[in-house]
């Protein structure tokens, strides 16, 4: 277990603020950036990584999308299209879910 930089797990200031507000409780990334038990701090608040799980985009649900700050899976897909040039959704693409809780 180690302390990681908040920007490593939550790459935008908007997402860090959403985590502080309780609107974001997980993030999917293309690879693992942390291990369960690692912690990070945002504006003096400590968060603990509670789970790191390999998945595919096809495993994503509306509940996952809401946990990442989107209204539903369609909104999540649009968020990804806006954030990544030339993004195409592929159900078979490997991703890693990082779930976290405020301590």
pLDDT confidence band for 83 (50 / 70 / 90): confident
| pLDDT at 96 (0 to 100) | 98
Overall pTM surpassing 0.75 (yes/no): yes
As a whole number, the mean pLDDT across the chain is 96
Share of the chain above pLDDT 70, in %: 100
Residues 18-31 have a mean pLDDT of: 96
Report whether 16 contacts 44 (CB < 8 A).
no
| pLDDT at 93 (0 to 100) | 95
What are the start-end ranges of the H helices in 21-72?
62-67
Beta strands in the chain (DSSP E): 26-29, 39-42, 45-56, 94-102
| pLDDT at 1 (0 to 100) | 83
Question: How far is the C-alpha of 81 from the C-alpha of 43, rounded, in Å?
Answer: 29
């Amino acid at each position: 277990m180690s302390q990681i930089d908040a920007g490593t797990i939550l790459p935008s200031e908007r997402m860090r603020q959403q985590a502080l507000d309780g609107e974001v409780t997980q993030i999917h990334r293309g690879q693992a950036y942390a291990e369960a038990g690692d912690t990070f701090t945002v504006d003096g608040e400590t968060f603990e990584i509670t789970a790191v799980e390999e998945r595919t985009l096809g495993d994503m649900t509306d509940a996952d999308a809401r946990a990442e700050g989107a209204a539903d899976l369609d909104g999540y897909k649009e968020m990804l299209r806006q954030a990544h040039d030339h993004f195409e959704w592929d159900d078979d693409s490997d991703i890693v879910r990082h779930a976290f809780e405020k301590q």
